[in-house]
Amino acid sequence: MLFYARFWLILLLTVATGSCGAKIGHKEQDNSPMVTPISGWNGDEQDMARVPRSASEQPIGPSAQSTHATDVACDEEQLAHSRAMDDFLPALNRESELGRMENPLDEKPPSRTYLFLCELQKFLSDILPQKEGPAPQRGANAVSLDALHSLPPLSLGVSSTVSLLSGLVNSSTPTVFVFPERQQGLQTHRVEVTLDSPLLSVLRMRLDEAMAQVKQQEVGQKVIDRLQKLSELSALSPDGEDDEAVDKNRKEAQYRSILLLKALQVVLLTWEVERAQRAARADEDGSSVPSQCRLQSLTVSLRKFLLEPSTANINNCEGVCGFPLTNANNHAILLNSHIQSGQPVNRSLCCVPVDFDDLCVIELESEGTNIFFKTNVVATKCECR
């Protein structure tokens, strides 16, 4: 539609300019100097001189009257043409804007990766709020994700190392996703990864297992529909074709499959933490004896724009360090013996974390994907120290 509007505008300008130009050209032709022979010469064409016509020699009749009429007609036509353009150009602009909204001929359809990332963000926001465990205390300060110590970022793409790709596929490290402030920033997001056949087989297996575990839960039809879309958008094509376009699509599909696996692991880990929290509350309600040093769930808030999930379970160590010590080193055993003998000390044994997991941060940007590992975030083991 926009093409035809521009075509008619050019045609209208061409016709109007040609009409006015033709009349002006006729006027100039009538006013051209007359060629007359000079007296005393034989009148040959070589000896003829140009002298301007006198007033008496000017042509009379229609030719003479057309000069003034042409000026008036051309001025009126230019004025009418200008007014027509004043009305036509705004209409053309409105039609152009409407054409871009209704039928954007110049825009390419969104890529499968862009559609996948939009669905992934909606999937996480739909399923993660459905937590039954205790949320972080209201009013608690959220810690900026950028304030945590991190290893140097790693770029996820065709140049990614085998160790990075293998770690993403084989591990279940706690993970959070960081999406850009505007979804439009992901329209140019295109990332490819290359997995060897053994690692690709592991990815397929782990992805199928995670999908089956999520579908076993009562998550609602809306979540199941989103999960089906994500599965279709990240479907891994079979190997064996050498076409360049097919190979590019296959590499992008492998990238999307890795992101889907990590997202499903986030959901499954969240549910596992919720079950552990319910079990711990049940044990506390049914026993009056102080618990020994052990790992307890602790959820904290994180702050960064469009962070999914916006919380992290970092765990904590709670309980008493009493005799007999089953989870302590030699220093703690000797210190506890000293305390039990009644000798004064400035501190008692404490239940503290001794092993940690990193927090994997997958940051999605318009130019690509960066992987950050925030070190020593999630406590995994407690001992008395």
* Residues 357/377, Cβ–Cβ less than 8 Å: yes
| Backbone dihedral angles phi then psi of residue 162, each to the nearest 5 degrees | -65, -35
* Residues 115/252, Cβ–Cβ less than 8 Å: no
Report if pTM > 0.75: no
In angstroms, the CA 298 to CA 136 distance is: 9
pLDDT at residue number 367: 87
pLDDT at residue number 285: 63
According to DSSP, residue 150 is labeled B
In angstroms, the CA 233 to CA 250 distance is: 11
DSSP H or E stretch at residue 242: none
Name beta bridge partners: 356: 379
* Residues 133/232, Cβ–Cβ less than 8 Å: no
Q: Give residue 261's Cα distance to chain centre.
A: 19
In angstroms, the CA 249 to CA 272 distance is: 34
Token pair of 276 as six digits: 């552990």
pLDDT at residue number 84: 53
* Residues 251/158, Cβ–Cβ less than 8 Å: yes
Name beta bridge partners: 379: 356
Q: Give residue 6's Cα distance to chain centre.
A: 34
pLDDT at residue number 87: 55
Per-residue pLDDT for the chain (385 aa), expressed as one digit of tens each?
545 555 565 655 555 555 454 444 444 444 444 444 444 444 444 444 444 444 444 444 444 444 444 454 555 555 555 565 555 445 545 544 555 544 444 567 889 999 999 999 999 988 885 444 444 444 457 888 989 999 999 999 999 999 999 999 999 899 999 998 887 888 889 999 999 999 999 999 999 999 999 989 888 888 889 999 999 999 987 655 556 778 889 999 999 999 999 999 999 998 888 888 788 777 766 666 667 888 888 989 988 878 888 889 999 998 888 777 777 889 888 888 888 888 878 888 899 999 999 999 999 998 899 999 999 999 999 999 8
- Give the angle subtended at the CA of 307 by the CAs of 303 and 311, to the nearest 5°: 65
In angstroms, the CA 267 to CA 230 distance is: 14
Token pair of 262 as six digits: 């990590």
Domains of the chain, residue spans: 76-384
According to DSSP, residue 182 is labeled S
